[in-house]
Structure 1
Amino acid sequence: MASTFSAVQVTIIDPNGDLDLRLYTTKDATGHQFNSASNGRPIVGKIHGQFKVSRKVMVDSSSYFKAMLSSNWAESRQSVVDIECERPTSAELWYRVFHKSLVPDSLYDIPIDMIGNVIQYGGLVQEVKGSDADLEELREWFKKCLERLDLPKITTDELKMLLYPCYAFNHAQGFATVTKRLAYEMSGHVTEISTTEDRSIHLDGNVIGSVNGAKGSLRSRLIRGLFEPMDRFLDARCACKEKSLFAYCQGIRKTGIWPLQDLHKKSVQDILDSPGFVKFDIKIPDGACFTCISKLSLTTIAKVRADVSKDFDGLCLDCINMTKTGDVDNDYWAHDRMKHWGKSCRINHGQPSWYFSFVGRKTDMKNHQLKKKQARDLFRNQSWSDSD
């Protein structure tokens, strides 16, 4: 069954537009065809979007369309141009941004797994890799998209899909929330989920390493908080210490952290929210002394839960991106000295977030590491010269 030009609903981007961009797909297009706008010959595919735009705006806004519409290509002389495009929603968004046209409400509700394609299409129209696309004009759009999502409740798979978009659109609060939830709620290794065919669209490896580092730190703090009281029982001299220690171990077991060899199967949040942790229950042994009773206090465990729950605020994009003194080393030690971990950052955070965020953008850190290596080599060569 053939689709025809007249049957396609046209979306008006520019009411005074002089060019129609007709988007089609060849996927699942068996039995579908339409007549080419350039020569009238049948093309196997389905038209799933047509947009009236300004040729001048498209040429001025996109190197991709500049090459297509202002050169010796056949499209430069056509009023209707056919373009193969699998995601017309992403295309429409960019066309509206180019024209500074009102973005309809529906474009703020696109599925999470389509946001990566918006980035990929930005790379296409700018003729760069998706990871190098300039997304400045779409930051407000992404901000509104996130406002409509219930970030505290979306699934961990959806969080993984949002990792790179939050990073690429420089959304500090979104990135912090996503990385915090993954650190607390993932039992296994934290990874991204790619939603595009562009393999360049991914986080720098050191950022993913930092999320996993923060997750490991939370686990260590949780274990340390629960097991440190055992030392106080072992060092005690009272006759009831054995019974009290056994009672404490029984209480710990109910939190789900025991046995330790199975800990990797549970996330930090799973353990913190376990009934045995929330309502820590210890049966005080008969004849326990005052000291042992105080060690078995429920407030001790409540403090561990509270401390671990608020330990990590997520990764901070400002700490990743900025070297406020202009020097990576000086900036690191300045923060460490002042203890103002979130100074000048868009999110409030403590020392753990600063520590795990201080990784820098991959390119910046590579250049920094190269300079340090060159300085070491120069120093070594000078030392050898002096010794001669």
Structure 2
Amino acid sequence: MATTTTPYWQLEKEYYTIVDNADVALRIIEHSAITTTENGFPLTVKTPTKLHEFKLHRATLSQASSFFGQLLNRTPDTFAEATSDQNVIDVAEDDGAPSVHALALWFKIVHDKAGLDTHELSIEGVWRAVSVAQKYGFSTASGSATAWFGAWYATLPNLVKAGYKHYTMLLYPAFVFGHRAAFAQATKYLVYHNTGGNIPDHQPREFVVEPPANAAALHMPQHVMHQINAARARLKTILHRALYTPVDRLLKEARCSCAPTVLYNYESSLARTGVWPLESKLISDSIISTIHDLRAYDGKQWHIQTCGNPACTFDFDKIVVIAREEIGNYFTGLCLDCMTASKGHDADGKYWSHSKPGVNWDEGCAVNHGQASWYFSFMGPREDMMEWAKAPKAKPLKDRREMHADGNTQTRANVAHHGHGHPQRGGDGHKQAVHPFRSQEYHEPGQNGNFDQEQVESHQQLCEGQPKFSQTKEYHQYPQSFGRREPGQYYQRRGRGGYYNDNFFAPSRYGKRRGSGRSMMTRDVRYETNAESSGEHEDESKSKESIPNTDEEPAQCKKPEHTAAEKEPAPIKVPEIQVEVAELKASGDGQQAEV
């Protein structure tokens, strides 16, 4: 692609008047690849073959295209090849006639002159238009571009009979032009009709035979294709779970003599339809084909008189109907609105707020969809979605206080450190400085949340001479089990993965140290001592000594005699655990974790 002012009087010429008030003539020099022989070797050279002259409006074209904006506004001061006559400009197009026709389409689109004839364009022509848009800087997200693609998509059923291969070619143009309905329809069709293996995005055959220079860059983003393939794997998991649940219940709960017959009849009836075993079925077949096969299922003839146990007494047909309906209505395609909202800076308000109780999953979206489409349309950090999947759902944040029999409210100890709902916020709502490597000592609160200094002093006098361990009793009272707590000792714990402020999920990356599975208050400080204030720590062997029970008699808190055995305690022997590792066999489809 280059600019030139050389006259091409000997070339074939074709003229186009896009607008009546044209003030610039743009001449596109079509180049074709011509192969010649030089010194006995074939040589392919791009040779000018035809001249296309377009009458256009300068200001409109300059605003619509970054390339032509710089080209049309050049002056002899900024461009050496510029001439005094700026009303006729030559541009060499190296990608041949298809790209010239696509360029003519864009001239009509930006001037709002795209007629009905442009709606009959083939899918290969749409790919050429996408290639030209990226080459010359046309915006596929502009209002005129999306309106044209919407009109073309509306007339598409009259042009071709859509099939699996057609939707693989429609996927990328629908994504680039931002057509919500077309993209959702294409992704849904590919997920339900894929016959094993990964779902691809294909380029048209004509586009591959004569590719433009930027053909290698015209593909769907890999993370989007990963989500589409993950949706199909999820469908397979749900269908298998729905059909296998009766089998699992029979094997685990039924102990009667009729259970083997019921199990055989149920699996045999499924095998007669060809969908069982499901893994073998979906290796070379699609989800939609499996749904059609299940419609022909008839389990009444396989029923027998059972003992009445709920584990072996169930309706075969009802199980299959529920599974078929659940899988058929599960996924409605990816949502471009959710995809855009999930990767923006305001994802909390536009994407995560959809998980708030009472809010629809498709709130503010152009297409109707459910939770599955919302989930697989996530394009943000994968860690945030995994945290949401593991976290408890729709549980309001409870008041972290306890009312005692005497009517006084005793605040939990760590609320004074961190407050409610956030790991590093105090009760007044302001952040408090928490040293990341300093132990957070536990203090037994008195009534009304005040610390009883007399209790602390009496405890120190009672156990004078004992090793001064950090008083985080959750870990130190029982070193072998740090999840056990004494009555009256409480710790603020957030839900797994995030916090539930205002009853909706917020990823923990807004207050959690990345890579840590515990909040600041629940980190492992089992081996820390009070000597840390002076920078000294006891040996690891001493930190593992049993902690005296302060609830026992004072006689047990006497200063111990240091013997040689205590100074050099015997190492703790950890029993060896033998683990049998089963041989894993890779399947055709990767397993997808359940939402």
Q: Shorter chain as normaliser: what TM range?
A: 0.7 to 0.9
Contact 2:250 2:259 in 1 (8 A): yes
User: Equivalent residue for 1:191?
Assistant: 200
Contact 1:59 1:66 in 2 (8 A): yes
Corresponding residue to 1:150 among 145, 149, 157: 157
State the SS of the aligned residue for 1:335.
helix
- State the AA in 1 paired with 2:55: K
Alpha-carbon spacing, 1:323–1:80, altered in 2? closer, same or farther (3 Å): closer
Aligned equivalents of 1:168, 1:74: Cα separation in 2: 34
C-alpha deviation, 1:14, in angstroms: 2.1
Contact 1:57 1:98 in 2 (8 A): yes
C-alpha deviation, 1:299, in angstroms: 2.8
Gaps of 5+ in 2: 1-7, 37-45, 386-507, 522-531, 536-595
1:184-263 mapped onto 2 (5 Å cutoff): 184-186=192-194, 187-194=196-203, 197-234=214-251, 235-259=253-277, 260-261=279-280, 263=282
State the SS of the aligned residue for 2:355.
helix
Contact 1:319 1:360 in 2 (8 A): no
Aligned equivalents of 1:65, 1:124: Cα separation in 2: 11
User: Equivalent residue for 1:297?
Assistant: 316
Alpha-carbon spacing, 1:183–1:191, altered in 2? closer, same or farther (3 Å): same
Contact 2:258 2:307 in 1 (8 A): no
Per chain length, whose mean CA-contact separation is higher, i.e. which structure has more relative contact order (CA < 8 Å, sep 6+)?
1
Corresponding residue to 1:344 among 345, 360, 364: 364
User: Equivalent residue for 1:15?
Assistant: 20
Alpha-carbon spacing, 1:284–1:48, altered in 2? closer, same or farther (3 Å): farther
- State the AA in 2 paired with 1:161: M
State the SS of the aligned residue for 1:344.
coil
1:113-152 mapped onto 2 (5 Å cutoff): 113-126=124-137, 135-150=142-157
C-alpha deviation, 1:314, in angstroms: 0.8
Is 1:278 equivalent to 2:316 in the alignment?
no
State the SS of the aligned residue for 1:254.
helix
Aligned equivalents of 1:375, 1:231: Cα separation in 2: 39
Aligned equivalents of 2:217, 2:355: Cα separation in 1: 34
Is 1:25 equivalent to 2:31 in the alignment?
yes
- State the AA in 1 paired with 2:190: L
C-alpha deviation, 1:310, in angstroms: 0.5
Aligned equivalents of 1:306, 1:272: Cα separation in 2: 9
Alpha-carbon spacing, 1:104–1:50, altered in 2? closer, same or farther (3 Å): farther
User: Equivalent residue for 1:310?
Assistant: 329
Contact 2:300 2:317 in 1 (8 A): no
Contact 1:21 1:50 in 2 (8 A): yes
Alpha-carbon spacing, 1:118–1:135, altered in 2? closer, same or farther (3 Å): farther
- State the AA in 1 paired with 2:118: L
- State the AA in 1 paired with 2:154: E
Is 1:64 equivalent to 2:76 in the alignment?
no
State the SS of the aligned residue for 2:301.
coil
State the SS of the aligned residue for 2:356.
helix
User: Equivalent residue for 1:38?
Assistant: none
Q: What is the root-mean-square deviation of aligned Cα atoms in Å?
A: 4.0
C-alpha deviation, 1:67, in angstroms: 3.7
Q: Which has the higher helix share?
A: 1
- State the AA in 1 paired with 2:347: V
User: Equivalent residue for 1:376?
Assistant: 513
State the SS of the aligned residue for 1:176.
helix
User: Equivalent residue for 2:340?
Assistant: 321
Contact 1:315 1:357 in 2 (8 A): yes
Gaps of 5+ in 1: 31-42, 366-370
Aligned equivalents of 2:91, 2:343: Cα separation in 1: 48
Alpha-carbon spacing, 1:285–1:7, altered in 2? closer, same or farther (3 Å): closer
Aligned equivalents of 1:313, 1:337: Cα separation in 2: 21
State the SS of the aligned residue for 1:376.
coil
Alpha-carbon spacing, 1:170–1:349, altered in 2? closer, same or farther (3 Å): same
Aligned equivalents of 2:51, 2:511: Cα separation in 1: 55
State the SS of the aligned residue for 1:322.
helix
C-alpha deviation, 1:199, in angstroms: 3.7
C-alpha deviation, 1:80, in angstroms: 6.5
C-alpha deviation, 1:79, in angstroms: 3.5
Alpha-carbon spacing, 1:360–1:154, altered in 2? closer, same or farther (3 Å): farther
- State the AA in 1 paired with 2:19: D
Alpha-carbon spacing, 1:98–1:286, altered in 2? closer, same or farther (3 Å): closer
- State the AA in 1 paired with 2:106: W
Alpha-carbon spacing, 1:324–1:60, altered in 2? closer, same or farther (3 Å): closer
Is 1:83 equivalent to 2:101 in the alignment?
no
Contact 1:23 1:49 in 2 (8 A): yes
User: Equivalent residue for 1:103?
Assistant: 114
State the SS of the aligned residue for 1:154.
coil
TM-score, with structure 1 as normaliser: 0.77
C-alpha deviation, 1:202, in angstroms: 3.2
Aligned equivalents of 2:84, 2:509: Cα separation in 1: 51
Quote the sequence identity (%). Answer: 26
Contact 1:247 1:285 in 2 (8 A): yes
Number of equivalent positions: 359
C-alpha deviation, 1:330, in angstroms: 6.3
User: Equivalent residue for 1:46?
Assistant: 49
Deviates more, 1:178-187 or 1:81-90: 81-90
- State the AA in 1 paired with 2:71: M
- State the AA in 2 paired with 1:25: H
C-alpha deviation, 1:229, in angstroms: 1.6
Aligned equivalents of 2:105, 2:192: Cα separation in 1: 34
Alpha-carbon spacing, 1:336–1:348, altered in 2? closer, same or farther (3 Å): same
State the SS of the aligned residue for 2:363.
coil
- State the AA in 2 paired with 1:376: R
Contact 1:179 1:315 in 2 (8 A): yes
- State the AA in 1 paired with 2:16: T
Deviates more, 1:3-12 or 1:238-247: 3-12
Aligned equivalents of 1:374, 1:233: Cα separation in 2: 46
Alpha-carbon spacing, 1:4–1:253, altered in 2? closer, same or farther (3 Å): farther
Contact 1:176 1:315 in 2 (8 A): yes
C-alpha deviation, 1:374, in angstroms: 11
